[in-house]
Amino acid sequence: MKNKNVWQAVKFTLFSASAGLIQLISFALLHDVFKIPDYNACYLPSLILSVLWNFTFNRRYTFRSDGNIKRAMLLVALYYVVFITLSRWWSTELVALGVHDWLIEVINMLVNFVTEFLFQKFVVYRGTIDTNELARKEQA
């Protein structure tokens, strides 16, 4: 069980790192190439792209769930309603304090990484981990 949890955390970390690259690249395009001055106008689209990528791969390969996809997406969407609300609030405060946009982006990504793993493991996929065809083939 311990080995399985470690491997799950490693896979989540790797997929999150790839999602993080998508978020950073899209943030950079909006912020530095297209010169959109508003932090949140760069942050939200980059976060949405990252979430879609991360959800798709973690559902299939990390948590290997065949649970109801609509329910899982709804729970993740609810998580992001809370996370985006809070992160926009503290981001706005940090911008007002003069904290650099890129530092705020990294802080948001780290907070998101930890809280999303816990939420997905213990809420979204609770009871449906290792139930998809990949898990069934491995267990056979």
10-residue mean pLDDT profile of the chain (140 residues): values are 88 95 95 94 92 95 96 96 94 96 91 95 97 93
Structural domain range at position 83:
2-133
Beta carbons within 10 angstroms of residue 37's beta carbon: 8
- The answer to whether position 10 is within a domain reads yes
| pLDDT at residue 2, rounded to an integer | 76
Q: Is residue 140 part of a domain?
A: no
Q: Is residue 24 part of a domain?
A: yes
Can you give the pTM of this predicted structure?
Answer: 0.81
pLDDT tens column, 53-86? 999 999 999 999 999 999 999 999 999 999 999 9
Q: Does 96 map to a domain?
A: yes
Rounded CA separation 53/29 (Å):
18
75/66 Cα distance (integer angstroms): 15
Look at the chain and report how many structural domains it folds into. Answer: 1
Do the domain assignments include residue 138? Answer: no
40 in a structural domain: yes
Q: What letter would DSSP give residue 18?
A: H
